[in-house]
Amino acid sequence: MTIIAPSILSADFSRLGEEIAAAEAAGGDWIHVDVMDGHFVPNLTFGPPVIAAVRSATTLPFDVHLMIERPELSLHDYIAAGADRITVHAETCTHLHRTVHSIKEKGLPAGVALNPGTPVSLLEPVIHDLDLVLIMTVNPGFGGQSFIPYSLVKLRQVKSMLTERGLEGVHVQVDGGINAETAPLVREAGANVLVAGNAVFAQQDRAAAIAALR
């Protein structure tokens, strides 16, 4: 079963609560929350107070994607704000193993994201500890970018790493440039969680948009 995670980065921020409720009504499974710090990525979005303010708009899980430096310093704040799962970037963690365990010790499923320029081999030492691997299919920072085709190679590599180790239960997520054309490609390459920003929130009929991704 494919999980669809609408990314609120592409929502109307002036009506964020309503947009989240609309994504749930349209059939979304997780709400993807893109936190950007203006340092690790060239864009700045929102932090714990905004997440806490919209948490009651839905009962869907908040899938928090931290594109921030030193994420280990603020994990607690995101959990207190209502994060249900947290994904950190391998590139931002000097002590990746420690940060992954810190998320798990706080009782949340832990994910690790890799930028398009980062090899999947970096996952090897922590892959047994993960609930989710996020293969970025664009360079993070903005919605509405084009899918990077080499991501399909990386997805297949991750899929075989997981299969070889008997870790078929680990989610494989993709994020960036996912639409009705790229969705079948990433699914065929092993992804089971599709993040979609523009392909959902820029569409008039969000239920049809989510159905098209499925």
Q: Which amino acid is at 163?
A: T
34 is catalytic: yes
Q: Which is nearer to ligand DX5, 119 or 144 (CB)?
A: 144
205 is catalytic: no
| Selected binder of Zn ion within 86, 175, 191, 213 (CB under 5 A) | 175
7 is in an annotated binding site: yes
* Shortest distance in whole angstroms from residue 178 CB to ligand DX5: 5
* Shortest distance in whole angstroms from residue 136 CB to Zn ion: 8
Identified catalytic residue from 34, 37, 63, 131: 34
Residue 199 binds which entry of Zn ion, ligand DX5, none, with Cβ cut-offs from 5 to 8 Å by kind?
ligand DX5
- Structure tokens given for 158: 């991750």
Residue 159 binds which entry of Zn ion, ligand DX5, none, with Cβ cut-offs from 5 to 8 Å by kind?
none
Nearest to 145 by CA among 111, 115, 113: 115
DSSP string, 127-186: GGG-SEEEEESS-TT-SSPPP-TTHHHHHHHHHHHHHHTT-TTSEEEEESS-STTTHHHH
Q: Is 144 left (phi over 0), alpha (psi -120 to 50) or beta?
A: left
Q: Name the residues that contact Zn ion, by CB under 5 A.
A: 34, 65, 175
